[in-house]
Structure 1
Amino acid sequence: MDALYSIILGIVEGITEFLPISSTGHLIVAGELLRGSLAPNWTKEMSSAFEVIIQGGAILSVLVYYWKDFLKVRDIPTDATQRQLWTSVIIGCIPAVVLGVLFGSTIKRLLFTPSVVAWALIVGGILIWLVESRRVTPRVHRVEEITPIKALGIGAVQCLALLWPGFSRSASSILGGMMMGLDRPTATQFSFYLGFLTLGGAALLDLVKSREVLAQIGVLNMALGIGVSFIVAYLSIGWLLRFVSTNDFKPFAVYRVVVGVIILALIATGVLSNASLA
């Protein structure tokens, strides 16, 4: 049953990590609902550490999907376009890294509750709808055109996901990109690049901090979660890029509001505990 729990969370992570619907929100709610029946021997600490580690599969999927683009890093010394792109990616990660180092543990301890996630989903859905309703002509159509200043602005908006669990890193970075004049596909692609560094750093840090807890989970369960997450996330990346090429994000806005309301209803009826999940 532990293996089934690992597989299900891997699927949830893979589907939700890069869609603007909050992987953190879905994972902590799914973990709370399923842990008692499928993994009764897992503590909340084990589930919390596992949820971060399986992000490694999603991170790897970005590397594999964009492997040709990542190889261009070697051209940075001679290619000004590549220098600007990867400088912008690094600058875009800085706000979240600083905030995470200073307040990450506190936020995780105090705010990782289903009700916080539910309201983050609802408010984020409303913001997505409002941003999509603006009649603004995008000015940036390639990730190579993103300046460090724009990247810093996107990175600042991305911090919403860290400050408010359930808001969604993908949603905040994509919204930030669109507010900075990026078209949807470009904002989505840049969000993938930011995620590769920010999520990768978080996973490595948690691997070091939680190594004793992860030992209790077992290599097989971690391999299943990471492997399933990789496969599903890789498919999700391709699907999302195709979707945003011809559609806006309003369907995700509606989905977020509906799921947020459902979570609040589960809490109100006692089906879901609102205790801290960290």
Structure 2
Amino acid sequence: MDMYEKLESLKSNIRSLESVAVAFSGGVDSSFLLKVAYDVLGENVVAVTARSSTYPEREYREAVEFAESYGIRHQVIVSEELEVEGFSDNPINRCYLCKNELFTKIKDIAQKANLKNVIEGSNYDDLADFRPGLAAVSELGIASPLREALLTKEEIRVLSKEMGLKTWDKPSFACLSSRFPYGEKITVERLRMIDQAEQFLLDLGFKQVRVRYHGDIARIEIHEKEFAKLLNPEITQIIYTQFQQIGFLYAALDLKGYRTGSMNEGLHNKPGI
């Protein structure tokens, strides 16, 4: 099945849902899902975006701008993960705790708005990584139309470009909590450090960045094609100085480069994974 057939399958599935609340972060996948849902269901669609300390302000602004640009109804809620019991301890099932709390709130919103379903934007590629949040999605009866249509990240980008969505080449994003090794305490201050460090790299022109928290050390992940830029002595000094001002004692470049889920790479040695 090619991506256009998958797109038609997606539209058919969404049409059968009749009315939906879309969990909308403003990222590539949820933006694509929201626009397709709006094209199919029109006013029977509400986008729901959660604000929290794990969600950078730039992502929130872009989500608001996207919904406004198409005239899509948009509701913003507060969903502070650090207030969820056990979340700040950063256990292996951290994402489950987050998604369970988030989607419970979105289901309540959908019910009050007389919307029949809640949908979220995980794609087919997400099945290849360790994603405990998908268990909460399943338990709460949240639909995942992109996964059901077998749409991959690359296909979503291509289709988004053809649809004229400015998010088609937006860098991939995951909540800031994913920057911490499991078991490392997550705090508002540490989240702020990560947010500021990543924003600084983005402001320098790096396209896809992650700053992973390892105590005094900030481990920088960027695409390999941007290594030469970062290793320019002038740039490295600027980054080192700024990261120290943010609160990191050391800054290190990950020689494997950017990849999603790098904090999951050691999980095969853990029981039950």
Same fold at TM > 0.5: no
Comparing both structures, which one devotes a greater share of its residues to strand?
A: 2
Flag the structure with larger Rg: 2
**TM-score, normalised to structure 2's length?**
0.26
Greater RCO structure (CA 8 Å; 6+ sep): 1
